[in-house]
Amino acid sequence: MDVLTRERAKPALPFAATNALIDFPLSVLAAAGVSDVWVSVQFQSSSLDGHLAGGRPWDLDRNRGGFRRLTPEEGTGSAHEEGFSHGNADGLFRMREAIRVADPHVLIVMSADHVFNLDLRPVVAEHLAREAECTLVTAEIGVQEATQKVVVEHDADGQVTAVHAKPRSTDSGTVATEIFLYRPQTLLAELERLHAELQAAADDDRDTGLGDFGDHLLPALVRRGRVRAVPITGYWKDVGRPQAYLQAHRDLLTGRVDVFGHADRPVLGQTLPGPPGWVGEEGELVDAMVGPGSRVRGRVVRSVLGRGVQVQAGALVEDSVLLDDVLVEAGARVRTSVVDRATRVGRDATVGTCPPGTRLTDEAVTLVGQDCRVRGGTTVEPGARLEPGSTT
């Protein structure tokens, strides 16, 4: 996410004005009654602390079990047991002793930069009933996008027959959503076996060679013949790229995102106090969402505004996401952009554009980092990246 994650972990990125991306997996786990939850973050992990609040929003602040945040450590073991991991399978290997001590009945692993709201209970029930060693939750996406994911092949009964990590081409759009259920004993045994095989070929003495799930771990488990695929119900999107992040907000405004409003599995998070959003007499909202404390006197079209955003009279915000406390001064134009918190767009400035009919790509989305200053009358070109704290 480029400049948007210079000073925050990706799971801390806001979504839909008031939530953070990490709210989705944590809320899914809470609704399923999972009471022992570990959050593993390597980059800018402290940016999540205030929002996570020790797990309190998800009823995980307990004396026994509950919420635990895992960070890379030094001096805790061999080179293959400490420090930063080299992929998510490598990360699981480095926590293997902690997993062994915890001794869970089922180990559930989720990514924290996806938008979804899955009822996990029937997935766990099927995983156990089928005596699976691993269950993958899958989604259907376009075949071009699938080349950036782990493509999953399975038979009519749901048994996985093959996985392909980021294939050059594919005819299938069935992909792993990075929601995995493991039989812990099998997982640990396979991680240790693969580590022994791959250690000699690793890039350096601190790399186990295990890499990501799709590199070695999932293919090895598939060969054992007890991996199941369960399709996700409802909306799912990996929003780890600018185009996908903006597209997910477009989907939100057109009603395609069905993750909110489930009484049995609400999306929980850190709720901050604030007055309702306000629209002045000269203000106009068209297919827009306005966060608490925002004040709109200009025109906001197909956009999402975070908390405390101000759009002055004569300003236009179109097809964009503005995070908390952004100020768009009179006469300014912001289009097809994601503008990070506490940024000021000066009078009559222009930020980004995307002509109608243009295919939305990462390069078409303008990204403005937090605490930036766009001077009055300035033009920020489409697709530009402004580093946090910069002035243009």
Q: Examine residue 271 and state whether it is found in any structural domain, yes or no.
A: no
Whether residues 190 and 76 fall in one domain: yes
Same-domain check for residues 49 and 184: yes
| Residue 233 binned pLDDT confidence (cut-offs 50, 70, 90) | very high
Looking at the fold, whether 290 and 247 belong to one and the same domain comes out as no
Q: Which of these, 190, 191, 211, 217, lies nearest to 86 by C-alpha position?
A: 211
pTM above 0.85, yes or no: yes
Are residues 205 and 292 located together in one domain of the fold?
Answer: no
- Measuring CA to CA, which residue among 33, 185, 178, 159 is closest to residue 109? 178
Please list the residues that pair with 316 across neighbouring strands.
Answer: 299, 333
Helical spans, DSSP H, in the chain? 23-31, 49-52, 88-94, 96-102, 120-129, 143-146, 184-198, 218-224, 242-253
DSSP 313: T
What CATH number did the domain enclosing 149 receive? 3.90.550.10
133 and 246 together in one domain:
yes
Residue-wise pLDDT tens digits, 43-62: 888 999 999 999 999 999 99
Q: Under 8 Å CB-to-CB from 77, ≥6 apart: which residues?
A: none
Count helices and strands (H / E) in the chain.
9, 30
Q: What is the CATH number of the domain that holds 375?
A: 2.160.10.10
- Is 356 a member of any domain? yes
Q: Are residues 238 and 292 in the same domain?
A: no
- Asked whether residue 158 falls in the same domain as residue 78, the answer is yes
Give residue 200's pLDDT band: very low, low, confident or very high (50, 70, 90): low
Closest among 377, 289, 362 to 331, alpha carbons compared: 377
245/282 same-domain check: no
Residue 296's beta-bridge partner residues?
Answer: 279, 311
Q: Tell me the per-residue pLDDT of 283-337, one tens digit each, with 9 for 90 and over.
A: 999 999 999 999 999 999 999 999 999 999 999 999 999 999 999 999 999 999 9
Structural domain count, the chain = 2
Length in residues, the chain:
392
The answer to whether position 336 is within a domain reads: yes
Residue 240, domain member (yes or no): yes
Q: Are residues 357 and 285 located together in one domain of the fold?
A: yes
> What is the H or E stretch that residue 185 is in?
helix 184-198
Please say which residue of 253, 286, 313 terminates a domain.
253
Q: What is the spatial distance between Cα 312 and Cα 322, in angstroms, rounded to a whole number?
A: 14
Structural domain including 83 reads 2-253
Q: Please indicate, yes or no, whether residues 224 and 328 belong to a single structural domain of this protein.
A: no
Last residue of a domain, one of 236, 253, 270: 253
Domain boundary among 238, 253, 268: 253
* Distance from C-alpha of 42 to C-alpha of 307, rounded to nearest angstrom: 27
- Helix-strand-coil percent breakdown of the chain, rounded to 5? 25, 25, 50
Do 321 and 381 have their domain in common?
yes
Give percent of the chain with pLDDT exceeding 70. 94
The reply to whether 189 falls in a domain is yes
Residue 194 lies in a domain: yes
Q: Kindly state whether residue 173 falls inside one of the protein's structural domains.
A: yes
Cα–Cα distance list, 8 to 27, 44, 48, 70, 123 (Å): 21, 5, 8, 16, 32
Quick one: pLDDT band at residue 84, thresholds 50, 70, 90?
A: low
Instruction: Give per-residue pLDDT as tens, 123-135.
Output: 999 999 999 999 9
Could you tell me which residues come within 8 angstroms of residue 383 by beta carbon, excluding any fewer than 6 positions away?
352, 363, 364, 365, 366
234 and 309 share one domain: no
| Residue 259 covered by a domain | no
